[in-house]
Structure 1
Amino acid sequence: MQTQQPRLHFWQIWNVSFGFLGVQFGFALQNANVSRILSDLGADLHSLSLFWLVAPIMGLLIQPIVGAASDRTWNGLGRRRPFILAGAVAAAIGMLLMPNAPLFVTFMAPMIFGALMLALMDASFNICFQPFRSLVSDMVPSEQRNVGYSIQSLLINIGAVIGSILPFVLTNVVGLENTAQMGEVAPSVMWAFYIGATVLLGTVIWTVIRTKEYSPEDYNRYKGIEAEEVEPKQPMAVRLSNFWKLVVNMPTTMKQLAVVQFFSWFSLYIMWVYTTPAITQHIWNVDKKWFDPAFIATVPMIPDSVVLAKGAAGDWVGILFAAYSVFAAVFSIFLAKLADRFGRKLVYSASLLAGGVGYISFLLFQDLNLVHVNLLITEVEVPVGAVRLLIPMIGIGVAWAAILAMPYAMLAGALPARQTGVYMGIFNFTVAVPQIVAGLCSGSILAYVFDNEAKYIIVVAGVSMLLAAISVFFVKDPKLVTLLYKESCYA
């Protein structure tokens, strides 16, 4: 009877994570366009970060519950796949409904409906995310985990590139309108969400069909779990009590990674919420008053020049987000080999450093002169500064690739096999909490410290990412400890 977990060939590892391409496709559409949608529906800059709070709150509430539930789920679809499929279906529904918020004005304000759909999408994405992370840990043997999470990072970024660039393509290649007056959503954004919902469902169904999870007996044997170690199902109150005990007694590596995660995700939240207004103000030279609903209410209509600038800037944010995802995808190809050669900590820290420098350098690239740009799929005229912003996206992409892979690769080796799912869910606290903190304070910082000049809040994101890079050196890497132990045994 085989006791060692079998190695997977490349396409098996690929299929395990392929659905993540579609999930990230939808997530990228959300990240690049929700601030744009909510602004068009009537949200001001200060409240944008508060609306975005629904995303990390959903993650905080849902991922640990889903993680614990998936640890104990064994049915015809497997252990993780039922949750992945259910989350994908719910996310697709949210993506179909959100851009149609103005149609529901009879029932509630479009902005409130949009916020509710954001909550539905994020809840559903989180139902998918955590089981996908655990699926890699379940299916991929420890010696292939760097490769497994790197492939997952690659697929995530392929999905992010396509999702981010899609509204731009629909405007500049297909010819859909990319502008909207207050209370409306641009047609290019609406159709991008429809396409995203379709891709999300298709890729997740591929993973569900093409991946066969281990039976409980095989899983326990491969992970070295004795029969008596498998706990019977307990009442909800007991499970909640045990859950909080797990939180308190989480592995040291997880606690140390939590500090790195705090500064990393604080930065990312700011980027997702405020890149669109920052680009519009800093590169397209749109005055900050056109982001104030109270001021807009005093004028007969928004000038065409402002509407066009907002539409063009919103599309270019998709290009920039696609760019950092491309750089992340390319870096992901080399990430596992670099980590094996130079160590996870050094590669992780250097990657975050590159991201911090990228954010801070945002201020250096303002140039309002127009330049003709050939993007292969189309040609556009944009400010020179918009093109130059592709440079800091290199560092941000490198940081993003590392954030998607390195913490999970370091954490996987520090977790007990039979509690991987619940601990991966608990680890999502380190993703959600910094975003909640950023959501509560970044709007006030922008309004009262920077007088709604959004470019400066991006610099705050850069400083936070630099702190994350420093924090990496205080993390205890289980792989490094194991190697040192083996060396001492053979000394």
Structure 2
Amino acid sequence: MKKKPALSFWQIWNMSFGFLGIQFGFALQNANVSRIFETLGAKVDDIPILWIAAPVTGLIIQPIIGHMSDKTWNRFGRRRPYFMVGAILASLALLIMPNSPTLWIAAGLLWMMDASINVSMEPFRAFVGDMLPSEQRTTGFAMQSFFIGTGAVVASALPWIFTNWFNVSNEVVAGERIPQSVKLSFYLGGAVFLIAVLWTVFSTKEYPPEDLAEFEAEKKQSSNAVEHPIISSANLLPGFIRNGLIFLVTGILGSLLILQMGWEKELYVLSVGLGTFGLILLISAWYTRQGLVHNGLVEVITDLMNMPKTMKQLAVVQFFSWFALFAMWIYSTSAVTSHIYGTSDTASALYNEGANWVGILFATYNGFAALVAFLLPVLAKWTSRKMAHAIALVCGGIGLASFYIVKDPHMLVVSMLGVGFAWASILSMPYAILTGSLPAQKMGTYMGIFNFFIVIPQILAASILGFFTKVLFHGHAIYALILGGASLLIAAASVMFVDDVDQK
């Protein structure tokens, strides 16, 4: 048996560099897609349902890619083939997205773009678990946070940079639907995405399966953690059937209730999602009854039911953290332009000025995240990983809620510093805590399953925030940001109950 060797700073740099490109794609999407939707005619309360493509794609793609990458080993490696394929597809999607002629084509392209980004992104989380020993994991995920922040700073600000530095038009001209500044930003983003991911692919070598097996054996021998029992799919069969029927019936009854009451159509996403999960459990039960337990669906569902205790606890933290983030990404443009700039006219110069400023605000929180990323391991060493994450989430919650009382758009930069602190920690601390509780041979699968607790709150947000904004908030998007701030504070309280099994 042998211990996983520590890597040098530049080795960790190279293996994380691809996240620079991945975040170019996500930042352009997050800062500009609502703007593209509104420009193409979407109403403010319709935007969440249009965004549903992103979380649904992640829910489907990430566990599949994680499971596949766990079982992959060829001359290109274990995770790296997925980095490359996803980068090529995502770059193509970024080139096409700003040329969308209609709203629904733009929504379809968002689906394509998010699926491609997820193919690249999911294995990167497992990559850190594969390559780094426990004492370097926090640094490894912090390095990813640094590149995410750095990439997002530039990508979020690109339309503003093109407009103010290079005099590129920021308004819709005759015969066009999307401003030229936005188009050029997406073109540049596609190129950066591909180049950055290929840098990691060609500069980093992966450990072969036999080495990973030896590292895992040494980890088990030296660990004091109690290994939780694994329940087989056969023993889980009654639960598959019982829970499958409960979810399926709940989904059907929920859909009928929404139809009968005439509620908002986006609520169907929630009811249909529940019913679909119930159907998946019943299909898994059928496969298990037939003895067909060695297929991807049954294996992933069985692993879901066997989640380590730490992962279950972190699921609560992730749920409230990502609900808040999705509320911010969806509603920042509408909240800032209407609540602070005082306009909802998407064709006006004032609206586009406000939309560009949102890009700067997104660049601010990502830039600050990049700066504080390497302070998080220090704060975690002084306190603990849990306490460091809780402090960051509190700062983020206060920052996001403060949008309501700020009147000067320039002062929102201060609010975004708190959000940036939370963002840096959200991208690193949960994964650093989680990885120590996961078996190496299922690292990709569990990272994909862990994404459920990022995606489910986003689906919930897309399902209910439009309803809340229209019915409860009377069209005032600013209240969605206040709700997001409260959600981050709940996440901060929840993290203190997490069991960090190998805090160094």
Instruction: Tell me which interval the TM-score lies in, with the shorter structure as reference length.
Output: 0.7 to 0.9
Which one of 324, 335, 345 corresponds to residue 278 of structure 1? 335
Alpha-carbon separation, structure 2, partners of 1:235 and 1:15: 41
Report if aligned partners of 1:68, 1:422 keep a CA contact under 8 Å in 2. Answer: yes
Within-5 A mapping of 1:328-347: 328-347=369-388
Aligned pair count reads 432
Gaps of 5+ in 1: 103-109, 227-233, 292-301, 367-384, 484-491
Q: CA deviation at 1:329?
A: 1.0
Partner of 2:137: 145
Report if aligned partners of 1:35, 1:276 keep a CA contact under 8 Å in 2. Answer: yes
Change beyond 3 A, Cα 1:236–1:50 = farther
Report if aligned partners of 2:39, 2:178 keep a CA contact under 8 Å in 1. Answer: yes
Change beyond 3 A, Cα 1:225–1:58 = farther
Alpha-carbon separation, structure 1, partners of 2:420 and 2:402: 14
Larger deviation, residues 313-322 vs 182-191: 182-191
Alpha-carbon separation, structure 2, partners of 1:459 and 1:85: 39
Within-5 A mapping of 1:213-224: 213-224=206-217
Partner of 1:246: 303
Partner of 1:459: 482
Alpha-carbon separation, structure 2, partners of 1:174 and 1:192: 12
Q: CA deviation at 1:479?
A: 2.1
Gaps of 5+ in 2: 220-290
Partner of 1:382: none
Partner of 2:274: none
Report if aligned partners of 1:179, 1:310 keep a CA contact under 8 Å in 2. Answer: no
Partner of 1:369: none
Partner of 1:192: 185
Alpha-carbon separation, structure 2, partners of 1:20 and 1:211: 14
Q: CA deviation at 1:147?
A: 0.8
Report if aligned partners of 2:24, 2:193 keep a CA contact under 8 Å in 1. Answer: yes
Within-5 A mapping of 1:14-53: 14-53=13-52
Over the aligned positions, Cα root-mean-square deviation in angstroms equals 1.7
Report if aligned partners of 2:88, 2:194 keep a CA contact under 8 Å in 1. Answer: yes
Change beyond 3 A, Cα 1:47–1:141 = same
- TM-score in terms of structure 1 length: 0.86
Partner of 1:488: none
Partner of 1:416: 439
Which one of 332, 349, 368 corresponds to residue 390 of structure 2? 349
Report if aligned partners of 1:225, 1:418 keep a CA contact under 8 Å in 2. Answer: no
Alpha-carbon separation, structure 1, partners of 2:376 and 2:63: 28
Report if aligned partners of 1:40, 1:181 keep a CA contact under 8 Å in 2. Answer: no
Partner of 1:7: 6
Within-5 A mapping of 1:51-450: 51-102=50-101, 110-180=102-172, 184-224=177-217, 238-286=295-343, 288=344, 290=345, 307-366=348-407, 385-450=408-473
Alpha-carbon separation, structure 1, partners of 2:300 and 2:462: 26
Alpha-carbon separation, structure 2, partners of 1:436 and 1:37: 20
Secondary structure of the residue that 1:348 maps to in structure 2?
helix
Q: CA deviation at 1:405?
A: 0.3
Q: Deviations over 1:445-471 (max 9, x none)?
A: 111111111111111111111111111
Q: Deviations over 1:276-319 (max 9, x none)?
A: 01111122111x4x47xxxxxxxxxx5xxxx2012111111110
Letter in 2 for 1:469: A
The alignment-based identity, stated in percent, is 47
Change beyond 3 A, Cα 1:127–1:236 = farther
Letter in 1 for 2:177: E
Partner of 2:236: none
Letter in 2 for 1:479: D
